[in-house]
Structure 1
Amino acid sequence: MKRKVIIILSILFIIFMTALFIYYLVKGDASRWQVALGGILVSALPLCLLRMKQNPFNIPIIVGYYLFLFGSLYLGSIASFYLHYTWWDSSVHFYKGMLIGFVGISLYKRLIPEKVRQDVSSGILFLFVFSLAVLAGVLWEIYEFVGDLTFTHTMQRGGNTDTMYDLLCGVAGGLIVAFYSLVRKKTV
């Protein structure tokens, strides 16, 4: 079932982004065709999971990944939600923090054998999940900064203020999932 979901979502998103790429390339809108081209590449990433013997990510995380791509690439950049709705950027970063937190929980379950997990403190799990979400936020802000230096000049319109709000929202999302992992670990 997971395999089919990955294949279907990847193909649909690749087709969608390819159509946008061609449309904006013909139209001469460099900012949007570049985003669409990036969308083609990142929508194909989950296909790499098919090569794994045991995919650590469940269907909600896979669907969540594509929701993130749709919200950030299409709605945010191509449909200009980032420009028209000031709350959109912060919401996407908050969502990303939560998504990466859940990815951290999945990786923990995949990489740590069940026998060993019993001896891992809930604090270590909390730090792992939280740190992964924070790292993702920092790497995203570096991506935005480099993108503005080289291609778009539109990713960090608010400068340092935008960067700090984005980081704070991502940290808040990751913190919520880290607390969730802490509570779940203590009850299990």
Structure 2
Amino acid sequence: MRKLIIILSSVFIIFMAILFIFYLIKDDHSRWQVALGGVLAGGFPLILLRLKNIPFNIPIIISYYIFLFCSLFLGSISSFYLHYKWWDSTLHFFKAIFIGVVGIALYKQCIPDNVRSDVSAVILFLFVLSLAVLASVLWEIYEFVGDLILTHTMQRGGNTDTMYDLLCGCAGGLLIAIYASVRKQKV
């Protein structure tokens, strides 16, 4: 798993660094900033290598890079957000599911088995749902602040875009929370 993290991080960082240099030379402010963010976000999983036990499995790590590629490169740099209205809401839906799965993985890693057996399905449902919804809210705050400080392209739809994104995030969070709750009840 450590080797996979190093390979994926290295490939993504190099890819985004090349884009950063390319768009910096072209003086394309919005794209070089996104590419620089991609360099930083691509390196984040390298922090996991410092842990004795990595709490995330291979599908979670691969999903992280798929999300980065889809949101940063396809969404922002390749302008999928502008050309495909469904792209933004689909990524919000996926992000909420992803964050819910990460929450479940951390729950399993950090909470001892004997304590987990006493946690009700309702509490697990609320934990996963609230984590996914919190991620959606924080992302919308990021978009709002980003539009105030850096660019004016993140919330082109204004309040309608924000609410639609939050609804998609809630739907994704609800879906994974139901899944976690049903699995908990079966155990």
The TM-score bracket by the shorter chain reads: over 0.9
- 1:53 is displaced (CA, Å) by 1.1
- 1:111 is displaced (CA, Å) by 1.2
Distance in structure 2 (CA, Å) of the matches to 1:43 and 1:137: 20
Distance in structure 1 (CA, Å) of the matches to 2:64 and 2:94: 10
The answer for the alignment partner of 2:151 in structure 1 is 152
Distance in structure 2 (CA, Å) of the matches to 1:152 and 1:44: 24
Distance in structure 2 (CA, Å) of the matches to 1:129 and 1:53: 25
Instruction: Calculate the aligned-residue CA RMSD, in Å.
Output: 0.6
Q: TM-score, normalised by structure 1?
A: 0.98
Distance in structure 1 (CA, Å) of the matches to 2:174 and 2:49: 30
In the alignment, structure 1 segments of 5+ residues that lack a partner are: none
- 1:11 is displaced (CA, Å) by 0.3
The one-character-per-residue Cα deviations of 1:46-97 (angstroms, maximum 9, x if unpaired) are 0001111111111111100111100100000000000000000000000001
Distance in structure 2 (CA, Å) of the matches to 1:171 and 1:6: 29
Distance in structure 2 (CA, Å) of the matches to 1:177 and 1:74: 26
- 1:152 is displaced (CA, Å) by 1.4
The answer for the alignment partner of 1:114 in structure 2 is 113
Distance in structure 1 (CA, Å) of the matches to 2:3 and 2:186: 33
> How many residues are aligned here?
187
The answer for the alignment partner of 2:99 in structure 1 is 100
The answer for the alignment partner of 1:77 in structure 2 is 76
Distance in structure 2 (CA, Å) of the matches to 1:3 and 1:126: 31
2:108 is matched by which residue type in structure 1?
K
Residue 94 of structure 2 is aligned to residue 86 of structure 1: no
The one-character-per-residue Cα deviations of 1:131-150 (angstroms, maximum 9, x if unpaired) are 10000000000100110001
The answer for the alignment partner of 1:63 in structure 2 is 62
In the alignment, structure 2 segments of 5+ residues that lack a partner are: none
1:55 is matched by which residue type in structure 2?
I
The answer for the alignment partner of 1:8 in structure 2 is 7
The one-character-per-residue Cα deviations of 1:102-151 (angstroms, maximum 9, x if unpaired) are 00100110111011111110111111111100000000001001100011
* Helix, strand or coil at the partner of 1:54: coil
Distance in structure 2 (CA, Å) of the matches to 1:37 and 1:10: 14
The answer for the alignment partner of 1:44 in structure 2 is 43
Distance in structure 1 (CA, Å) of the matches to 2:55 and 2:124: 16
Q: Residues 177-188 of structure 1 correspond to what in structure 2 (within 5 A)?
A: 177-188=176-187
Distance in structure 2 (CA, Å) of the matches to 1:127 and 1:6: 31
Distance in structure 2 (CA, Å) of the matches to 1:9 and 1:125: 31
Distance in structure 1 (CA, Å) of the matches to 2:106 and 2:174: 17
Identity %: 72
* Helix, strand or coil at the partner of 2:152: coil
